[in-house]
Amino acid sequence: MFILRFFLAALVAISVIGTAAYFLSKSTRFQVFGELVSRGSSQHPCVALTLDDGPSPKYTAEVLDVLANFDAKATFFLTGQAVVAHPALVADIAAKGHEIGNHSFSHPRMVGMSQSRIESEVESTDRAIRAAGYTGPLHFRPPYGKRLLGLPYYLKKTNRLTVLWDIAPETDPTNNSDATEITRRTLADAKNGSIILLHVMFVSRAGSRAALPEILAGLQAKGFTFVTLSDLLQHKNCVST
Ligand SMILES: [Zn+2]
């Protein structure tokens, strides 16, 4: 009887800890170590558009043209493997005044990963981005936003900022290829200081690419300025209300 109770208690404890760890690993508001940001100050009518993955040779120029048409600055969280494959695209992004961030080398889930593997994923990507000629700030966004203990610990140890988002209009799988819905959600939810997450670098993301000019036009019409992530956090290039 005692053994049975012990096993039941252990089972309950394991599921509670497992559930807590799962929610913690994907929380956009809290992490155990280091500094996390999911939005900027609400004092200024500015937002940061963050574009994850790539750069892809197929879509980078198109995305840069759209941003230039709206005189908007964005932040590109790039993977090391794509940076190594396409350093000239990284140089193009930097030359247009956008910010570049580290999105790991091979885009793995970085939960339960050894410190040496985390170090390799993070450092090799920073090195590749610098080798492509980018000299600006370099923050980190975990693949899938997932992190638990080891990754935050490493990022804190190396003084890196973890960057997530408060607006992710592609999260509903039933309509995340619908440009109108992606635009509608972004315009409805964006606030002063919002960090917006979009994926525009893959062939499957035609809806997000089509939404991009609509989002830029719509939020500019509401009085928002699109600035880089670092400018958003430092209240630079933001027009005060
Ligand atoms: Zn990603």
Domain assignment of residue 14, yes or no: no
Q: Are 170 and 198 in contact (CB under 8 A)?
A: yes
Task: Evaluate whether residue 20 is within a structural domain.
Answer: no
Q: For residue 50, how far is its CA from the centre of ligand 1 (angstroms)?
A: 11
Mean pLDDT for the chain? 92
Which of 52, 126, 166, 231 is catalytic? The answer is: 52
Instruction: Determine the Cα–Cα distance for residues 146 and 8; give it in Å rounded to an integer.
Output: 30
Predicted local confidence at residue 1, as pLDDT: 66
99 beta partners: 75
| pLDDT 10s digits, 39-64 | 998 888 999 999 999 999 999 999 99
- Quick check: is 44 catalytic? no
Residue 27 included in any domain: no
Q: How far is the CA of 230 from the centre of ligand 1 (A)?
A: 19
Residues 226-238 have a mean pLDDT of 93
Structural domain including 132 reads 42-234
Please report whether residue 172 resides in a domain. Answer: yes
16: helix, coil or strand?
Answer: helix
Spacing, Cα 143 to ligand 1 middle (Å):
5
The CATH code of the domain that includes 95 is: 3.20.20.370
The Cα 195–Cα 37 span in angstroms is: 9
Count the neighbouring beta carbons within 10 Å of the beta carbon of residue 195: 25
Residue that has been written with the tokens 């490493």 in this structure: 154
> Do the domain assignments include residue 21?
no
17-26, 53-62, 176-185 — which is least confidently predicted?
Answer: 17-26
Q: What is the pLDDT of residue 7?
A: 72
Tally of domains within the chain: 1
Q: How far is the CA of 51 from the centre of ligand 1 (A)?
A: 9
Q: Which helix (H) or strand (E) holds 197?
A: strand 195-198
CB 69 within 8 A of CB 226: no
Domain-located, residue 77: yes
Active-site residue flag, 199:
yes
Q: Give the residue, 28 or 55, on which the prediction is more confident.
A: 55
Candidates 103, 126, 199, 231; catalytic one: 199
C-alpha 163 – ligand 1 centre gap (Å):
12
Q: pTM, whole model, 2 decimals? A: 0.91
Higher-confidence position of 226 and 26: 226
Q: Does residue 4 sit within a domain?
A: no
Task: State in Å: Cα 232 to ligand 1 middle.
Answer: 21
| pLDDT at residue 120 is higher than 80 | yes
Residue 6 domain-assigned?
no
For residue 13, give the H/E element and its range: helix 2-25
